[in-house]
Amino acid sequence: MIERCQEDTRPRFGPRARTAVVLAAAALLAATSAAFLPGTASAGTTLGASAAEKGRYFGTAVAANKLSDSAYTTILNREFNSVTPENEMKIDATEPQQGRFSYGAADQIVSHARSRGMSVRGHTLAWHSQQPGWMQSMSGSALRQAMLNHVTQVATHFRGQVVAWDVVNEAFADGSSGARRDSNLQRTGNDWIEAAFRAADAADPNAKLCYNDYNTDNWTHAKTQAVYNMVRDFKSRGVPIDCVGFQSHFNNDSPYNSNYRTTLSSFAALGVDVQVTELDIQGAPANTYRSVVEDCLAVARCNGVTVWGIRDSDSWRASQTPLLFNNSGQKKAAYDAVLAALNTGTTPTDPPTNPPTTPPTNPPGGSCTATLQDGTRWGDRFNSTVTVSGASNWTVVVAVTPPQKISSTWNGSPTWDSSGNVMTMRSNGSGNAFGFTTMANGNWNRPVVQSCTAS
Ligand code: XIL
């Protein structure tokens, strides 16, 4: 733990860092013009692009066996810029026999996503459910060791490819007890959760490490408070936790409550990111979908929203028709409400700390011109857009400075060099501009356009 504090290069948002950013921003605003003020509206036409313009992602659960369904992939590729494997990274899928790991289906999803500029949420390393038979029958220190080995192996396999892991899933009991859920993992000792986080941190120090649960959305519920107390305790003792996932499976028995925003902001105030990880809502009421998105946008540390499937027929609760697309892949009213919410209003942002400069263009000599413009900047990341003139079928090469990492893109088809720092973006029919989000990882250099080529 102590070593991690010294080595960790991930940005931290302790009170002191936040104050410094705010003061610097205030000084800049006083000294310069209103050009820094964030825009008031964006005109995104897909969920992913509109979320990205707000510095968020919009994701979906994906099933590997549906990647051959072109109606499914058409929507996936068009609308989403983050993906969570629905079952393929679970323990029974990745370690079906003890010590024999199987990554085929998960790798397929990761490669589909990353080759299209989508980020991947890993789900999930340690859980009482969907355990393979061999693990279900284990207990005590043998189970603890097997669990830690599983976390280490799987997080190592996907190291660098997964931006956030649900390290531990659903470890608290329902109801009013506020207790841990009884499970074979819990019976290995109350410290099993933090042990899992430490193992994940050692295996993939750059992934954000999340605790994920359901029925933790209503701020007044005992389960919500119990998770909150655990996260507060982890932060105070330096257990490496970076984020909390709120599954947000809303239905008549556990409905959305307007204190959801309070839940998100209260957790964020502990110094963790928050993410809506498995959203579906019985009947897909447009107003409730809109509220969830507005709540996330209102909380600066809410990174994004993932819906738990694309079409109603893809849902684990298909009979509730809880998703944004109907069985034939058509947009439902809830889709329009979500898109409108993503495109409305301003975003709470940290204004840029760099003074504006003439936007850089690629060096002369290419067969088109690509101009990079700074977009919104947050405490840990920033957006850039690149506008191309002189070609409609273009290829633009952009480089970022390590340890920066491009975490999502929109309106183009990216490929990457082996370092992951040089992105070759090709036009995909979305027009003459593309965009991307760069995780700063402490480095705020502007990305460099290396070339623009017409094809
Ligand atoms: C569900 C999947 O959607 C189903 O396909 C599978 O049969 C069971 O699991 N909470 C979680 C998810 O964390 O992993 C669950 O996914 C839904 C509830």
Q: What is the pLDDT of residues 82-116, one digit of tens each?
A: 999 999 999 999 999 999 999 999 999 999 999 99
Instruction: Indicate which residue's Cα is closest to atom 13 of ligand 1.
Output: 169
Distance (Å) from CA 86 to ligand 1 centroid: 7
**What mean pLDDT is predicted for residues 177-194?**
98
> Among 101-115, 236-250, 353-367, which is the least confidently predicted range?
353-367
Query: Which of the 8 DSSP states describes residue 319?
Result: G
| Residues 256/286, Cβ–Cβ less than 8 Å | no
Cβ partners under 8 Å of residue 431, min gap 6: 411
Q: What pLDDT score was predicted for residue 117?
A: 94
**What mean pLDDT is predicted for residues 195-213?**
98
> In whole angstroms, what is the distance from residue 445 CA to residue 353 CA?
11
In ligand 1, the atom with minimum distance to the C-alpha of 63 is 5
Please give the backbone phi and psi of residue 118, each rounded to the nearest 5 degrees, phi first.
Answer: -90, 145
> In whole angstroms, what is the distance from residue 425 CA to residue 202 CA?
33
Q: Please determine, for residue 21, whether its predicted confidence score (pLDDT) is greater than 70.
A: no
> In whole angstroms, what is the distance from residue 340 CA to residue 333 CA?
11
Mutational pocket test of ligand 1: of 87, 168, 280, the residue with most ligand atoms within 8 Å of the beta carbon: 87
**What mean pLDDT is predicted for residues 230-251?**
98
Largest Cα span, the chain: 68
Torsion of the alpha carbons at 383, 388, 394 and 397, rounded to the nearest 10: -50
Query: Given the structure tokens 């684990």, which residue do they identify?
Result: 316
Q: What pLDDT score was predicted for residue 363?
A: 60
In ligand 1, the atom with minimum distance to the C-alpha of 316 is 3
> In whole angstroms, what is the distance from residue 287 CA to residue 331 CA?
15
> In whole angstroms, what is the distance from residue 90 CA to residue 154 CA?
10
Distance (Å) from CA 69 to ligand 1 centroid: 21
**What mean pLDDT is predicted for residues 11-35?**
33
Binned at pLDDT 50, 70 and 90, residue 450 comes out as confident
Distance (Å) from CA 299 to ligand 1 centroid: 26
For residues 352 and 448, the model is more confident at 448
**What mean pLDDT is predicted for residues 208-220?**
98
Q: Please determine, for residue 361, whether its predicted confidence score (pLDDT) is greater than 60.
A: yes
Catalytic, 7? Answer: no
In ligand 1, the atom with minimum distance to the C-alpha of 61 is 3
Instruction: Indicate which residue's Cα is closest to atom 5 of ligand 1.
Output: 316
- The residue count for the chain: 455
In ligand 1, the atom with minimum distance to the C-alpha of 315 is 3
Please give the backbone phi and psi of residue 73, each rounded to the nearest 5 degrees, phi first.
Answer: -70, -25
Catalytic, 170? Answer: yes
Instruction: Indicate which residue's Cα is closest to atom 12 of ligand 1.
Output: 86
> In whole angstroms, what is the distance from residue 326 CA to residue 415 CA?
32
pLDDT digits (tens, 9 = 90+) for 305-356: 999 999 999 999 999 999 999 999 999 999 999 999 999 965 444 444 444 4
Catalytic residue among 53, 95, 170, 194: 170
Q: What pLDDT score was predicted for residue 362?
A: 65
Torsion of the alpha carbons at 383, 386, 392 and 396, rounded to the nearest 10: -100
pTM for this entry = 0.75
Average pLDDT of the chain, as a whole number = 88
Residue 15 vs residues 20, 21, 244, 265, 391: alpha-carbon distances, Å: 9, 10, 19, 15, 47
Output the DSSP codes for 29-61.
HHHS-GGGSPPS-----SHHHHHHHTT-EEEEE
Q: What six digits make up the tokens of 230?
A: 């655990």
Number of helices (H), then strands (E), in the chain: 13, 17
* Cβ < 6 A, ligand 1 pocket: 86-87, 169, 214, 247, 278, 316
Please give the backbone phi and psi of residue 289, each rounded to the nearest 5 degrees, phi first.
Answer: -60, -45
**Which amino acid is located at 31 in the chain?**
A
Helices 140-157 and 192-203: crossing angle in degrees, nearest 10, is 30
Buried b (16+ CB within 10 A) or exposed e, 38-61: beeebebebbbbbbbbbbbbbbbb
Nearest to 35 by CA among 410, 440, 434, 373: 373
